[in-house]
Chain A
């Protein structure tokens, strides 16, 4: 019992550490990537003893700044809710990571350890529940600030998130139909088969339309450009106008965490999670017949590395999209969500369901 607890604690620690650090690195990534793609150099001034390390100290400088800034609660604001809102945002974003499988199971002695913090049967539902609860942080922030602009920003954000959650959820149903389970670990295992022996049967191959709808809706869900109307960094006032110091920083952190979470989800559902092409638990089985046996630990490490690389690629892609596209207008946003993505995802589910029913390939 104690050992189980310890193992879970270690797993949770690893995921916590990875997610939070990657979120911190996102501030660096955001500055540097945007700079490089705009022919600039980017943040490179923060230094420790003369070492600038490509500007890697800027996130630390940011954290120091955030923590030492004055924390202001507006007069007349609901003190409790105002303080609670950023915590809600970060909490739900972090908790959702528990459902993400980041590697195959490890056999250690007589123990089988799944590389997933919480082994939930319906992990997909759990993650979506947590993502939806993230709305509370946003709406509470707008509601408790006693500022009409913040309230409107919060309402905008809520309307957007709820609209896109529907498209997001329906896009997922196609994947669930294909792999026949809600357990993310099982969905990843299901992606270990091969179409005609060559093409990995990943979600993106089985459900390309769902992939595009999911990615678009996920971008909107995480409130990133081109869907960043809730925040509108400088032009339209967002729900966190009345926040300062680390409370504001926490909203930012929650934003980056959600981006990473969505990258993890996309990887898990559509890019085979920790699957490495042609890698079975006992080694590589290439379709041309060669095999390359490897040890169990190498196998697990390769899986974790594969998962991490895919997540990083998605983080990069999201960042690239964020610095490429201009923002939608609000009516365009709602139109795209309700008249574009929603019907497409419903049609996708219908077509998938019919195809599966006729092929009789229900697993």
Chain B
């Protein structure tokens, strides 16, 4: 077996002096310091705004720009009359590798639509943000483009989104607005999980009837 002799490079006298290296390090940090300080000062005078003095973002006030393909919190797209675009085909629920989507489909009065979700829940505590639900959806009914990243809650229950939050990304947990604005029949978590709503509120008297 061949023996490999490791040769550790000896420090030269110049390196052993430390000082040149110390000064080299100081030069780098000082260049950063004075460059950033100058830009900070210029910023406070309203100058050089195109140069960044710090690479950090002041998070709650300033959000990082997100790439357009970034997968953030889900939302359900909405039709003109305020009903979800979802047709209750269950493809997303089927494809979901984390099994975090629960859909209860109901019959839609419009014969061209067939079904709609009476209930549509996503448990964000389980969701892996893979985006398969978005890819698989034939109706472009679910998207992950809300830009909401700070999904945090004090309980697992609060991590579960129901149809209200999914259709209106402005509604955030805990939902402070206790008034349900959805008019179509749905299982309303805001009013204790009862069925609520009526198609007549959506379409008026001209409800398209399947029969």
Interface residues of A (CB under 8 A from B): 33, 35-41, 44, 212, 320-321, 323-325
Which of the 9-residue segments B27-35, B76-84, B154-162, B189-197 touches chain A? B27-35
B54 contacts chain A at the CB level, 8 A cutoff: yes
CA distance A37 to B40 in the complex (A): 12
CA distance A324 to B30 in the complex (A): 9
B19 contacts chain A at the CB level, 8 A cutoff: yes
**Could you say which residues of chain B place their CB within 8 Å of the CB of A212?**
19
Asked if A324 contacts B32 (CB within 8 A), the reply is: no
CA distance A212 to B19 in the complex (A): 9
- Tally of A-B Cβ pairs under 8 angstroms: 43
Asked if A36 contacts B37 (CB within 8 A), the reply is: yes
**Could you say which residues of chain A place their CB within 8 Å of the CB of B36?**
36-37, 39
Nearest-neighbor residue (CB-CB) of A39 within chain B = B55
B20 contacts chain A at the CB level, 8 A cutoff: no
Nearest-neighbor residue (CB-CB) of B58 within chain A = A41
B179 contacts chain A at the CB level, 8 A cutoff: no
**Could you say which residues of chain A place their CB within 8 Å of the CB of B26?**
320-321, 324
CA distance A17 to B54 in the complex (A): 34
**Could you say which residues of chain B place their CB within 8 Å of the CB of A325?**
22, 25
Task: Name 27 interchain pairs, CB-CB below 8 A, sorted by A.
Answer: A33-B33, A35-B54, A36-B32, A36-B33, A36-B36, A36-B37, A37-B32, A37-B36, A39-B53, A39-B56, A40-B54, A40-B55, A40-B56, A41-B56, A41-B58, A44-B58, A212-B19, A320-B30, A320-B33, A321-B22, A321-B26, A324-B22, A324-B25, A324-B26, A324-B28, A324-B29, A325-B25
CA distance A44 to B40 in the complex (A): 14
Q: How far is the CB of A176 from chain B (nearest CB, A)?
A: 24
Mark each residue of chain B from 1 to 35: 1 if its CB lies under 8 Å from any CB of chain A, else 0.
00000000000000000010010011011101100
Q: How far is the CB of A324 from chain B (nearest CB, A)?
A: 5
CA distance A40 to B57 in the complex (A): 9
Please report whether the interface of chain B is mostly helix, strand, loop or mixed according to DSSP. helix
CB contact under 8 A between A37 and B33, given known A212-B19, A324-B25, A325-B25: yes
Kindly identify which residue among A35, A40, A320 contacts B29, using a CB–CB cutoff of 8 Å. A320
Q: How far is the CB of B16 from chain A (nearest CB, A)?
A: 9
Nearest-neighbor residue (CB-CB) of A323 within chain B = B29
**Could you say which residues of chain B place their CB within 8 Å of the CB of A41?**
53-54, 56, 58
What would 11 more interface pairs be, CB under 8 Å, given A37-B33, A39-B36?
A: A33-B33, A37-B30, A37-B36, A39-B55, A39-B56, A40-B54, A41-B58, A320-B33, A321-B26, A324-B22, A324-B25
**Could you say which residues of chain A place their CB within 8 Å of the CB of B25?**
324-325
CA distance A300 to B153 in the complex (A): 63
CB contact under 8 A between A37 and B29, given known A212-B19, A325-B22: yes
Asked if A38 contacts B58 (CB within 8 A), the reply is: no
**Could you say which residues of chain B place their CB within 8 Å of the CB of A33?**
33
Asked if A39 contacts B32 (CB within 8 A), the reply is: yes
**Could you say which residues of chain A place their CB within 8 Å of the CB of B28?**
324
Q: How far is the CB of B53 from chain A (nearest CB, A)?
A: 8
Nearest-neighbor residue (CB-CB) of B55 within chain A = A39
Complex interface residues of chain B between 166 and 203 (CB less than 8 A to chain A)? none
Nearest-neighbor residue (CB-CB) of A44 within chain B = B58
CA distance A38 to B30 in the complex (A): 10
CA distance A38 to B54 in the complex (A): 8
Q: How far is the CB of A212 from chain B (nearest CB, A)?
A: 7
**Could you say which residues of chain A place their CB within 8 Å of the CB of B55?**
39-40
CA distance A212 to B25 in the complex (A): 17
**Could you say which residues of chain B place their CB within 8 Å of the CB of A324?**
22, 25-26, 28-29
**Could you say which residues of chain A place their CB within 8 Å of the CB of B53?**
36, 39, 41
Nearest-neighbor residue (CB-CB) of B32 within chain A = A37
Complex interface residues of chain B between 41 and 74 (CB less than 8 A to chain A)? 53-56, 58
CA distance A37 to B34 in the complex (A): 8
Q: How far is the CB of B35 from chain A (nearest CB, A)?
A: 9
CA distance A256 to B56 in the complex (A): 28
Candidate in B26, B30, B33, B36 with the most chain A CB atoms within 10 angstroms: B33
**Could you say which residues of chain A place their CB within 8 Å of the CB of B19?**
212
CA distance A235 to B55 in the complex (A): 27
Nearest-neighbor residue (CB-CB) of B52 within chain A = A39
Q: How far is the CB of B151 from chain A (nearest CB, A)?
A: 23
**Could you say which residues of chain B place their CB within 8 Å of the CB of A323?**
29
CA distance A320 to B25 in the complex (A): 10
